[in-house]
Amino acid sequence: MRSRGGRATSARRLLLAALVTRPGHLSAEELAAEVQSRAPDVNLSTIYRNLEELERLRVVDRTHLGHGPATYHLASAAHGHLVCEKCGSMSEVPDQIFDGLAEQARERYGFVIHPNRFAVTGLCAGCQR
């Protein structure tokens, strides 16, 4: 798993371990906390640098969920995100929900969408007053 000319450092192993053991959407800061619980002096910038490389290698996806920090998760988990603008809750939905949009975008604009890399915002069932 250690990649294209890269080296197997402990910071990287721990970061991957964190991504595997805590599935879901974690910010760089949360991942850092997780890694630091085992290796206290791994620096935040190291986390960012490695996440950047892992993103380039398509091992993780980075998603901007609304206003806060970006979140990261393993690329294997194919799903989209519905984020409520009011209460901030997020639900993961299967990729198929994007099929119609994907088809239209491709046919009409030649655009290939990446459903796991963005958040669909709106109002969840509980927040529609």
Partner DNA sequence: GTGCTTGCAAACGTTTTGCAGACTC
Partner DNA sequence: GAGTCTGCAAAACGTTTGCAAGCAC
Bridge partner list, 63: 71
Record the tokens describing residue 39, joined without a space. 């290796």
For residue 114, the partner it binds in DNA, its own copies, none, with Cβ less than 5 to 8 A by kind, is: its own copies
Q: How far is the CB of 58 from its own copies (least distance, A)?
A: 11
Chain positions contacting DNA, by CB under 7 A: 2, 5-12, 27-29, 39, 41-46, 48-50, 52, 67-70
Considering the complex, state which of residue 30 and residue 92 has its C-beta at the smaller distance from its own copies.
92
Count CA within 13 A, CB hemisphere, residue 88.
Answer: 2
Of 5-13, 23-31, 34-42, 61-69, which segment contacts its own copies by CB under 8 A?
61-69
Q: Distance between CA 17 and CA 34 in Å, rounded?
A: 9
Interatomic CA distance for residues 82 and 88, integer angstroms: 10
What x-and-dash track marks residues 75-114 binding its own copies by CB under 8 A?
A: -------x-xx-----x-x---xxxxx--xx--xxxxxxx
Taking alpha carbons only, the member of 27, 30, 16 closest to residue 59 is: 16
